[in-house]
Structure 1
Amino acid sequence: MTETAPQETEGTARGVRLPRTARRAQLLSAAQHVFVANGYHAAAMDEIAERAGVSKPVLYQHFPGKLDLYLALLETQAEELVNRLDEAIASTTDNKLRVHAAVAAYFDFVNGEGHAYRLVFESDLRGEPAVEKAIENATSQCVETITRAVTADAGLDEESARLLAVGLAGLSQVTARYWLNDGRALRQEDAVALIAGLAWRGIGGFPLQQAEA
């Protein structure tokens, strides 16, 4: 059989011409739906191409294989989580509000469109080194962001602050996922306030460095 399809260009795919960045975003959006719904192993490039409204050759022009596509999507979502948390910590210098903002960042991410959080927190491809590295990098960046705030403001050494940061990050993402899977039994703002209050009762017990001066 003659394979002429791989010669197809983006401009001829389904008769629609899109700029490369727009086409890439379209493909990632389609891939997110398929990967979240089916998991990596059951997802098919045919289905992703069909959902995006392009031919498989066009899909392969942007992503040479399924793993490349999955990693691009994973890294996009991991960066989204990191950015949300960075903005949350930087939004205030009040430690109590920082804790609340950090918890809210995880809830917002988990409650985001399309359940993309599953790629970061519930990937079925954790045994793949590149996937593991991307997830670990995102986790480490989130922990370091919280660690810097705790180290500076709670009078703790870096290792102690990092352990608290891991605890806050873990508490936030686990409770956010439970809240979502439980059908959002509480309003999001009430759930965030509840978990932030729990976290602050622990972290708030450490003195500010300024108070020790």
Structure 2
Amino acid sequence: MTAIEQTEAARPRGTRLPRRARRNQLLGAAQEVFVAQGYHAAAMDDIAERAGVSKPVLYQHFPGKLDLYLALLDQHCEALLQAVRTALASTSDNKQRVAATMDAYVAYVEDEGGAFRLVFESDLTNEPAVRERVERVSLQTAEAISDVIAEDTDLSKDESMLLAVGLGGVAQVVARYWLSSETGIPRDRAVGLLTSLAWRGIAGFPLHGADGAEGPQR
């Protein structure tokens, strides 16, 4: 169950919930408000109202708006990282790995809760704690991709990381464009095009000891 679904299930005012369930409810309500209004326009009153609780209940769990925002960021940055790691570990075929990773980014952006906006389109990146989290997840996802590239090719660690940053950046930018555009391109077709773009690039770097003709395939 997503945070949004938990919010819908737990919203009636006055219902006593276990602490963890209440926290998840509040996070779900906060996500809805932050995604719709942005950090600066959102108010704790709005979030409490959306959750169906009093402001004192909200403050029992989160001392302030920034604490709530950071808790959401932590949750959704971790979700992206785990999605990428799962995609990379899902197969030993490198072309399929690329496809799974591109699909993971599209799925993350496509999620109906819109949490990707907090990570990729935050209006609070001037806040050091927010910027640090956004930069860290970009680095961690790139490192996960880089480890696979370095393991399979003769590229150095730094060279592998450079390519990994490029692949991750292209994936999230294209996924966001596809979601916001009105091109009518079906999801599977969009993932396929993105996979072809990424694979045609990375396949130019051969496996260890290969002659370069086939690229990093198994």
Contact 1:110 1:176 in 2 (8 A): yes
Q: Match for residue 153 of structure 1?
A: 152
Which 5+ residue runs of structure 1 have no aligned equivalent? 1-12
Normalising by structure 2, what TM-score?
A: 0.89
Q: Match for residue 8 of structure 2?
A: none
Q: Match for residue 185 of structure 1?
A: 184
**Number of residue-to-residue matches in the alignment:** 200
- How much does 1:137 deviate? 1.1
Greater radius of gyration (CA): 1
Normalising by structure 1, what TM-score?
A: 0.91
- How much does 1:184 deviate? 6.3
List aligned pairs for 1:47-58, cutoff 5 A.
Answer: 47-58=46-57
Aligned residue for 1:14, secondary structure, equals coil
Q: Match for residue 9 of structure 1?
A: none
Aligned residue for 2:210, secondary structure, equals helix
| Structure 1 CA distance for aligned equivalents of residues 134 and 49 of structure 2 | 28
Q: Structure 1, residues 85-110: CA drift from partner, whole Å, max 9, x if none?
A: 00000101111111111111100000
| Structure 2 CA distance for aligned equivalents of residues 120 and 184 of structure 1 | 24
Q: Match for residue 4 of structure 1?
A: none
List aligned pairs for 1:107-122, cutoff 5 A.
Answer: 107-122=106-121
List aligned pairs for 1:21-100, cutoff 5 A.
Answer: 21-100=20-99
Q: Structure 1, residues 12-52: CA drift from partner, whole Å, max 9, x if none?
A: x9321101111011000000010011000000100100010
Q: What amino acid is aligned across from residue 180 of structure 1 in structure 2?
A: L
Question: RMSD between aligned alpha carbons?
Answer: 1.3
Give the fraction of aligned pairs with identical amino acids, expressed as a percent: 59
Aligned residue for 1:78, secondary structure, equals helix
| Structure 2 CA distance for aligned equivalents of residues 173 and 89 of structure 1 | 16
- How much does 1:188 deviate? 1.1
| Structure 1 CA distance for aligned equivalents of residues 209 and 115 of structure 2 | 40
Q: Match for residue 131 of structure 1?
A: 130
Which 5+ residue runs of structure 2 have no aligned equivalent? 1-11, 212-218
| Structure 2 CA distance for aligned equivalents of residues 115 and 14 of structure 1 | 25
Query: Which one has a larger percent helix, Structure 1 or Structure 2?
Result: 1
Q: Match for residue 215 of structure 2?
A: none
